[in-house]
Amino acid sequence: MARVTSHLLAGAAALGLGYALIGGASALSAEAVVHAPAPLVTAPATTNSETAIFAGGCYWGVQGVFQHVKGVTSAVSGFTGGVAGTATYDRVSDGDTGHAESVRVTFDPRVVSYAELLRVYFSVITDPTELNRQGPDEGTQYRSALFPTSPAQAKVARAYLAQLSQAKLWPAPIVTRLEPLKAFYPAPAYHQDYLTRHPDAPYIAYNDMPKVKALKAMYPQLWREQPVLVKG
């Protein structure tokens, strides 16, 4: 698997720094965390289950973080933005399919709102100023993008992007895209729960485990110790 190999090599290249940092409360990743403000616009819970889709780099870390958020009942890695015929790992890795590596998050809005998930996403998952890349991964398939599944979610996402742009938390402009949802296609089984199954893999240890630790430190009210896994 070419992309898996590149991930492992990228992690190995960072080991001199990564292993010195991982394990402490102040662990850093390739992307610094930002304490994003609470969203000013939210939506009332009208059901006990919603689904939202997030793209923010390699789906291993995106899935791994959301699996530790209280109120999330499912987080599945997959592809969004292209057509069914190109929704395979090898084709998406070519970077020309329109797909983004993404995660479909199902959650109970009575426990955690879509607005709170957005706050987690911008705080510890994605660098919204990186265009068509995240950390060591380059290509449109690693873009930072939101795929709302309802008009209410779109309204909250649009308002929060405006709020964050006005707050100027990052030194560069926000390039996170708000895209219409076409369809979501789950990734192969060996990519599901990857962070939980391979926490010591160099790529995961350096790029993604610090994000999970940041979630626990920054948002203890949203933290769940046992992740909700695709494979149970």
Positions annotated as catalytic residues are 58
How far is the CA of 204 from the CAs of 53, 69, 100, 119, 200, in angstroms?
Answer: 21, 18, 19, 22, 7
* Dihedrals phi, psi of 183, to nearest 5 degrees: -165, 160
* Dihedrals phi, psi of 84, to nearest 5 degrees: -60, -35
* 23's tokens: 């394990």
Strands 133-134 and 72-80 turn out to be unpaired
* 199's tokens: 């926490």
Is 45 in a helix, a strand, or coil?
Answer: coil
In angstroms, the first-to-last Cα distance of the chain is 25
DSSP one-letter code for 39 = P
Identify the residue whose tokens are 């192969």: 188
